[in-house]
Amino acid sequence: MDLQRHPNRRPTRRRFTLTALAALGSAALPAGAATPAAAACAPLLRHRFPRLQDEAPQDLCQFAGKVLLVVNTASYCGFTRQYEGLEALFAKYSARGLVILGFPSNDFGQQEPGSAKQIADLCFNTYGVKFPMFAKTVVKGAGRNAFYAQLAAATKDVPQWNFHKYLIARDGQTVRSFASAVE
């Protein structure tokens, strides 16, 4: 992955770039590319989760053919400020097929103790998050949700903390994993 260092940040922090996203496939985010009409839902995306703000069930197959950045989030974490960068990335590349999927989790340091309303208030009102956010879930251990189990199996990497990221290519099969410090 070609990750670029930001000049105003400590050198240990890395940021996603268009090049990093494009490295997932020959057409990860080409300008003007349309989502393939015949894009079948990959097995990895065959899951339903309640939406954060109203618990309406959301089928992940609606994102088939898009580049997905899946992030386990927490409201009271040193990485919570990453919401700003994630929203900026979503705003910049959503028209080209990037979708960020946020999964709040209380698995690490009990840093997401709040209710759905409290989490939604922080995401939408404090950070202006517009990308899809789902209800609080488990992302590690034996009780983790099936989607995260598949992501871990595909990458041989499990979240070690909040704001761990999985990047899924348009094919719904190619998956890369990024540690929490990667912005």
Cβ(63)–Cβ(164) below 8 Å: no
H-helix or E-strand spanning residue 146: helix 146-155
Give bridge partners of residue 165 from the DSSP assignment: 71, 178
77 is catalytic: yes
Phi, psi of 61 (to 5 degrees): -65, -20
Catalytic residue, chosen from 41, 61, 77, 123, is 77
The owner of tokens 């209710």 is 115
Quick one: tokens of 81? 């400020």
d(CA 132, CA 54): 12
Q: Which residues are catalytic?
A: 77
